């Protein structure tokens, strides 16, 4: 097919520009929310949202979902206690200061929301389901499609939704009186909210950032990030049409981050400065790096800021360590056989570990 023929058909079944914009607005403006206003959701609105969920695709048209609506405070309180136990248990998987960061996150609005919804999957529905033989989990995948429809329709209606998955299914089943073969796929808290933030709460909190789109698209074989036959898409991915202005998209993260910077936290600054003074190095010998470390402490309000993605930033400079042959060694995962790995004093923190022991991606080195 020629490109002329392609452009002939490209708009045939498309929604009008205004409707299309509405769909993308719901997609980009959808958020996971955990703080709610007390006003109830009118039944007609809730019915429309549930109907949207019920119109999701499903394997073999199985429609394995059920929507369990819960208002009773006693039930929601029991679910919240279950969440709290699981939240504490999950905290053990993190080391400090990540653990403290995790525990500071608000991860549910179970009692605050005017109602809860549990969306379940019944793997027995529909008997011999067309298309499910090879991948039995397609029943759960189908249920997730219903959840996503619900999430988007709710956004269009101005209703926020929070997904709570920090719940043990067996205990949740017991609270909700579910038979053992039913899978509670999603426990949701819907309700009106003051605002839909522009960015995920976890991103704003510095927990984790959205990956760049081009980092998750591959061509022709697993992990292949560029291919001469895909250059057009490759370029388009960095400036997806119809979402946000290209300039804003490219700089978005930087601008958002700068906008979020408030006055420095003086207590964190002082604590970081005091800690710097205890390190075994002449005061000020790391130059600008020491100032940057203090700035970071002030901005994040943490004496030792935790970084969602670790990075080793290498800057060129004339430093005595280079002539000793140590700096280069720190960069390379595989030291020369027979040469002992360089060691720095323990109170240099992570620097005494070689990069190979750290989950870092090496972007460039010399």
Ligand X SMILES: Cc1cc2nc3c(=O)[nH]c(=O)nc-3n(C[C@H](O)[C@H](O)[C@H](O)COP(=O)(O)O)c2cc1C
Chain positions contacting ligand X, by CB under 6 A: 31-32, 34, 107-108, 163-166, 200, 202
Task: Give the shortest CB-166-to-ligand X separation in angstroms.
Answer: 4
Q: Do residues 118 and 172 make contact, with C-beta atoms less than 8 angstroms apart? A: yes
Beta carbon nearer to ligand X, 206 or 264? 206
Question: Whose CA is closest to 183, among 151, 150, 147, 143?
Answer: 143
User: How many other CB atoms are found less than 10 A from the CB of residue 70?
Assistant: 17
Cα–Cα distances (Å) from 187 to 69, 157, 244, in that order, read 10, 20, 32
Query: Residue 330 and residue 352: Cα distance in Å, rounded?
Result: 9
Beta carbon nearer to ligand X, 200 or 355? 200
Q: Do residues 64 and 131 make contact, with C-beta atoms less than 8 angstroms apart? A: no
Beta carbon nearer to ligand X, 123 or 200? 200
Task: Give the shortest CB-164-to-ligand X separation in angstroms.
Answer: 4
Task: Give the shortest CB-129-to-ligand X separation in angstroms.
Answer: 23
Cα–Cα distances (Å) from 360 to 211, 312, 313, 343, in that order, read 15, 8, 11, 19
Beta carbon nearer to ligand X, 32 or 265? 32
Beta carbon nearer to ligand X, 152 or 299? 152
Task: Give the shortest CB-40-to-ligand X separation in angstroms.
Answer: 22
Beta carbon nearer to ligand X, 31 or 132? 31
Beta carbon nearer to ligand X, 108 or 122? 108
Task: Give the shortest CB-150-to-ligand X separation in angstroms.
Answer: 12
How is residue 158 written in tokens? 């101005």
Task: Give the shortest CB-337-to-ligand X separation in angstroms.
Answer: 44
Cα–Cα distances (Å) from 237 to 22, 194, 215, 243, in that order, read 21, 32, 10, 11
Task: Give the shortest CB-206-to-ligand X separation in angstroms.
Answer: 12
Query: Residue 104 and residue 106: Cα distance in Å, rounded?
Result: 7
Beta carbon nearer to ligand X, 118 or 164? 164
Cα–Cα distances (Å) from 223 to 53, 209, 211, in that order, read 33, 20, 15
Task: Give the shortest CB-32-to-ligand X separation in angstroms.
Answer: 3
User: How many other CB atoms are found less than 10 A from the CB of residue 289?
Assistant: 11
> Helices (DSSP H) in 55-193: which residue ranges?
73-91, 98-104, 138-156, 169-176
What is the number of the residue whose Cβ is closest to ligand X? 200
Three-state DSSP string of 200-259: CHHHHCCCCCCCCHHHCCCCCCCCCCCCHHHHHHHHHHHCCCCCCCHHHHHHHHHHHHHH
């Amino acid at each position: 097919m020629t490109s002329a023929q392609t452009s002939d058909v490209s708009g045939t079944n498309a929604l009008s520009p205004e409707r299309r914009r509405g769909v993308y607005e719901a997609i980009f403006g959808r958020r996971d929310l955990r703080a709610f206003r007390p006003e109830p959701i009118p039944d007609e609105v809730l019915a429309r949202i549930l109907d949207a969920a019920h119109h999701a695709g499903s394997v073999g048209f199985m429609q394995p979902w059920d929507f369990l609506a819960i208002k009773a405070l006693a039930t929601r309180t029991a679910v919240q206690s279950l969440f709290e136990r699981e939240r504490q248990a999950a905290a053990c998987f993190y080391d400090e200061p990540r653990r403290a960061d995790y525990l500071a996150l608000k991860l549910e609005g179970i009692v605050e929301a005017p109602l809860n919804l549990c969306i379940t999957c019944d793997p027995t529905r529909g008997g011999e389901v067309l298309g499910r033989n090879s991948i039995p989990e397609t029943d759960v995948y189908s249920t997730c499609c219903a959840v996503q429809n619900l999430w988007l329709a709710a956004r269009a209606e101005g209703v926020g939704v929070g997904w709570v998955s920090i719940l043990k299914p067996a205990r949740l089943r017991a609270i909700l009186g579910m038979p053992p073969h039913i899978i509670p796929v999603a426990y949701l808290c819907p309700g009106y909210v003051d605002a839909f933030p522009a960015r995920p709460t976890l991103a704003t909190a510095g927990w984790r950032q959205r990956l760049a789109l081009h980092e998750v698209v591959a061509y022709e074989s697993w992990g292949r990030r560029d291919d001469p036959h895909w250059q057009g898409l490759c370029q388009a991915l960095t400036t997806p049409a119809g979402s946000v202005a290209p300039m804003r998209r490219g700089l978005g993260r930087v601008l958002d981050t700068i906008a979020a910077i408030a006055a420095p936290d003086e207590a964190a600054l002082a604590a970081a400065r005091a800690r710097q003074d205890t390190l075994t190095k002449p005061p000020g010998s790391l130059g600008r790096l020491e100032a940057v470390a203090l700035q970071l402490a002030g901005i994040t309000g943490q004496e030792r800021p935790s970084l969602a993605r670790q990075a080793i930033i290498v800057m060129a400079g004339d430093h005595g360590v280079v002539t000793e042959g140590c700096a280069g060694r720190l960069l390379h995962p595989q030291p020369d056989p027979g040469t002992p790995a360089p060691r720095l004093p323990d109170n240099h923190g992570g620097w005494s570990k070689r990069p190979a022991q750290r989950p870092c991606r090496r972007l460039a080195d010399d």
